Amino acid sequence: MTSLATIKKNGSLANKTTGSSFPSLSWFDDFAMNDFPSLFSSNFNTGISLPKVNIKEVADAFIVEMAVPGMKKSDFDINLDDHLLSISAEVESQHEDDDEGYTRREFGYSSFKRTFTLPESVDDSKINAKYDEGILVIHLPKREEAKRKPARTIKIS
């Protein structure tokens, strides 16, 4: 999904210059606007980043490349439902250290879901995917009638 507004790094859409005649408490303004994300942040997923995607069209296919390092093939779920391609993943991690009477436990959970509407020209029976060195590549071949034909000379009769 795309964002319709340019969002500052902290996700804020608010403008710090209010035009008010009251004196500004700049340290408070900075604290309020920079340390806490705005409710109006892009896609309301503050703190959760979606993987970056490259989509390119070649003569006989569309290729989707998604940067998702540190995952395994088994972490992904790729579905196709009526020209809607969904790519999702869920990862849980747990780590425990017990050293000299101290116990430290860390756990984490992360997930994402990206969806794409495929053009009618995609041959959905031949879609395939591979994951190698942190890059998920999905190959979306075009139907035969949608493939670009090579240039040719037509003789005049």
Annotated domain spans of the chain? 7-47, 53-146
Rounded mean pLDDT of the chain? 75
Q: What is the pLDDT of residues 71-121, one digit of tens each?
A: 899 999 999 998 899 999 988 877 777 777 777 778 788 889 999 999 999
pLDDT at 122: 93
Structure pTM?
Answer: 0.59
pLDDT at 155: 92
> CB-based contacts of 112: which residues, under 8 Å, 6+ apart?
48, 50, 51, 88, 89
Q: Indicate the pLDDT class of residue 48, thresholds 50, 70 and 90.
A: low
Q: How far apart are CA 44 and CA 100, in angstroms?
A: 43
Query: Which CATH architecture group holds 53-146?
Result: Sandwich (2.60)
Closest Cα to residue 138, out of 56, 59, 15, 70?
56
What would the two tokens of residue 152 be? 């040719």
